[in-house]
Structure 1
Amino acid sequence: MKVKVKYFGMIAEAAGKSEEVLELENKLSVSELKKRQIVNYKIPDPDAVQIAVNHDLKTEVELKEGDEVAFLPPFAGG
Protein backbone atom coordinates (compact mmCIF):
# COMPACT_ATOMS: atom_id res chain seq x y z
CA MET A 1 0.00 0.00 0.00
CA LYS A 2 1.39 3.41 -0.97
CA VAL A 3 0.71 6.66 0.85
CA LYS A 4 2.12 10.11 0.11
CA VAL A 5 3.63 11.83 3.14
CA LYS A 6 4.31 15.58 3.24
CA TYR A 7 6.44 17.33 5.83
CA PHE A 8 6.29 21.01 6.73
CA GLY A 9 8.48 23.46 8.67
CA MET A 10 10.80 22.01 11.30
CA ILE A 11 9.55 18.52 10.46
CA ALA A 12 10.71 18.84 6.84
CA GLU A 13 14.08 20.06 8.14
CA ALA A 14 14.40 17.04 10.47
CA ALA A 15 13.37 14.64 7.68
CA GLY A 16 15.62 16.33 5.11
CA LYS A 17 12.77 16.34 2.59
CA SER A 18 9.37 17.88 2.06
CA GLU A 19 7.59 14.75 0.83
CA GLU A 20 7.96 11.08 0.04
CA VAL A 21 5.86 8.11 -1.01
CA LEU A 22 5.93 5.28 1.50
CA GLU A 23 5.25 1.67 0.67
CA LEU A 24 3.59 0.31 3.80
CA GLU A 25 3.72 -3.44 4.22
CA ASN A 26 0.88 -3.57 6.74
CA LYS A 27 -2.15 -1.46 7.46
CA LEU A 28 -1.23 1.30 9.89
CA SER A 29 -3.21 3.83 11.85
CA VAL A 30 -2.27 7.48 11.64
CA SER A 31 -0.84 7.39 15.17
CA GLU A 32 1.32 4.34 14.31
CA LEU A 33 2.73 6.09 11.24
CA LYS A 34 3.38 9.23 13.31
CA LYS A 35 5.32 7.24 15.93
CA ARG A 36 7.33 5.48 13.21
CA GLN A 37 8.29 8.67 11.37
CA ILE A 38 9.15 10.53 14.60
CA VAL A 39 11.62 7.77 15.46
CA ASN A 40 12.97 7.46 11.90
CA TYR A 41 13.66 11.19 11.51
CA LYS A 42 14.20 12.14 15.17
CA ILE A 43 11.51 14.81 14.87
CA PRO A 44 11.73 17.30 17.75
CA ASP A 45 8.73 17.98 20.03
CA PRO A 46 6.61 15.04 18.82
CA ASP A 47 3.65 16.01 21.03
CA ALA A 48 3.25 19.26 19.08
CA VAL A 49 3.16 17.54 15.68
CA GLN A 50 -0.31 17.37 14.14
CA ILE A 51 -1.35 15.02 11.37
CA ALA A 52 -3.77 15.66 8.52
CA VAL A 53 -5.07 12.83 6.34
CA ASN A 54 -6.43 13.98 3.00
CA HIS A 55 -6.57 17.56 4.34
CA ASP A 56 -8.53 16.65 7.51
CA LEU A 57 -6.94 16.77 10.95
CA LYS A 58 -7.37 13.24 12.25
CA THR A 59 -5.85 11.33 15.10
CA GLU A 60 -7.21 7.82 14.69
CA VAL A 61 -7.95 6.51 11.25
CA GLU A 62 -6.59 3.50 9.41
CA LEU A 63 -4.62 4.53 6.36
CA LYS A 64 -5.58 3.23 2.94
CA GLU A 65 -4.02 3.14 -0.52
CA GLY A 66 -3.47 6.60 -1.99
CA ASP A 67 -3.97 8.61 1.21
CA GLU A 68 -2.04 11.84 1.63
CA VAL A 69 -0.64 12.36 5.12
CA ALA A 70 0.73 15.74 6.21
CA PHE A 71 2.99 16.20 9.22
CA LEU A 72 2.28 19.70 10.49
CA PRO A 73 4.46 21.72 12.88
CA PRO A 74 2.98 23.63 15.82
CA PHE A 75 0.81 26.54 14.79
CA ALA A 76 1.39 30.01 16.20
CA GLY A 77 -1.58 31.93 17.55
CA GLY A 78 -2.34 35.44 16.55
Structure 2
Amino acid sequence: MSMLTGGEKDESILREVDRIHGWNDYHPRRYNGKAFPLSVAAISLALMIWSAMPDPAFEKKAAELQHPSQTAIAQTTVQQ
Protein backbone atom coordinates (compact mmCIF):
# COMPACT_ATOMS: atom_id res chain seq x y z
CA MET A 1 0.00 0.00 0.00
CA SER A 2 2.92 2.31 -0.61
CA MET A 3 0.83 4.56 -2.88
CA LEU A 4 -1.48 5.38 0.04
CA THR A 5 1.03 5.51 2.89
CA GLY A 6 3.85 7.50 1.36
CA GLY A 7 6.14 4.54 0.80
CA GLU A 8 8.20 4.07 3.96
CA LYS A 9 11.66 2.80 2.97
CA ASP A 10 13.21 2.10 6.39
CA GLU A 11 13.09 -1.67 6.84
CA SER A 12 13.26 -1.45 10.64
CA ILE A 13 10.05 0.61 10.67
CA LEU A 14 8.39 -1.84 8.29
CA ARG A 15 9.43 -4.76 10.53
CA GLU A 16 7.95 -2.93 13.53
CA VAL A 17 4.69 -2.35 11.63
CA ASP A 18 4.58 -6.05 10.75
CA ARG A 19 5.14 -6.95 14.40
CA ILE A 20 2.33 -4.60 15.51
CA HIS A 21 -0.03 -6.25 13.02
CA GLY A 22 0.86 -9.71 14.30
CA TRP A 23 3.12 -10.83 11.47
CA ASN A 24 6.35 -12.39 12.66
CA ASP A 25 8.02 -12.30 9.26
CA TYR A 26 8.83 -9.26 7.14
CA HIS A 27 7.46 -9.46 3.61
CA PRO A 28 8.21 -6.43 1.36
CA ARG A 29 5.33 -7.15 -1.06
CA ARG A 30 2.92 -5.97 1.64
CA TYR A 31 4.18 -2.43 1.09
CA ASN A 32 4.80 -2.32 -2.66
CA GLY A 33 1.38 -3.12 -4.06
CA LYS A 34 -0.25 -0.88 -6.63
CA ALA A 35 -3.37 -2.94 -7.34
CA PHE A 36 -5.16 -2.15 -4.07
CA PRO A 37 -4.74 1.66 -4.14
CA LEU A 38 -5.61 1.82 -7.84
CA SER A 39 -8.71 -0.33 -7.36
CA VAL A 40 -9.81 1.82 -4.40
CA ALA A 41 -9.38 4.94 -6.55
CA ALA A 42 -11.33 3.38 -9.45
CA ILE A 43 -14.19 2.27 -7.19
CA SER A 44 -14.30 5.70 -5.55
CA LEU A 45 -14.44 7.43 -8.93
CA ALA A 46 -17.20 5.09 -10.11
CA LEU A 47 -19.24 5.80 -6.96
CA MET A 48 -18.78 9.56 -7.40
CA ILE A 49 -19.96 9.40 -11.03
CA TRP A 50 -22.90 7.13 -10.12
CA SER A 51 -23.99 9.39 -7.26
CA ALA A 52 -23.93 12.45 -9.53
CA MET A 53 -26.34 10.87 -12.01
CA PRO A 54 -29.98 11.96 -11.61
CA ASP A 55 -32.52 9.43 -10.40
CA PRO A 56 -35.10 8.63 -13.13
CA ALA A 57 -37.86 8.26 -10.53
CA PHE A 58 -37.42 11.86 -9.42
CA GLU A 59 -37.15 13.11 -13.01
CA LYS A 60 -40.59 11.68 -13.76
CA LYS A 61 -42.13 13.49 -10.79
CA ALA A 62 -40.47 16.75 -11.80
CA ALA A 63 -41.81 16.40 -15.35
CA GLU A 64 -45.33 15.89 -14.02
CA LEU A 65 -45.07 19.02 -11.90
CA GLN A 66 -44.01 21.11 -14.91
CA HIS A 67 -47.20 20.26 -16.84
CA PRO A 68 -50.13 20.88 -14.49
CA SER A 69 -52.56 21.16 -17.43
CA GLN A 70 -52.38 17.40 -17.91
CA THR A 71 -53.58 16.60 -14.40
CA ALA A 72 -57.20 15.76 -13.72
CA ILE A 73 -59.24 18.58 -12.18
CA ALA A 74 -62.11 17.81 -9.88
CA GLN A 75 -65.31 19.56 -10.91
CA THR A 76 -67.71 20.88 -8.35
CA THR A 77 -71.22 22.11 -8.89
CA VAL A 78 -72.63 25.00 -6.97
CA GLN A 79 -76.19 24.57 -5.76
CA GLN A 80 -78.28 27.75 -5.88
Same fold (TM over 0.5): no
Determine which structure has more spread, i.e. the larger CA radius of gyration: 2
Q: Which is bigger in relative contact order (C-alpha 8 A, separation at least 6)? A: 1
More strand by share: 1
More helix by share: 2
Q: Give the TM bin, normalised by the shorter chain.
A: under 0.3
TM-score by length of 1: 0.21
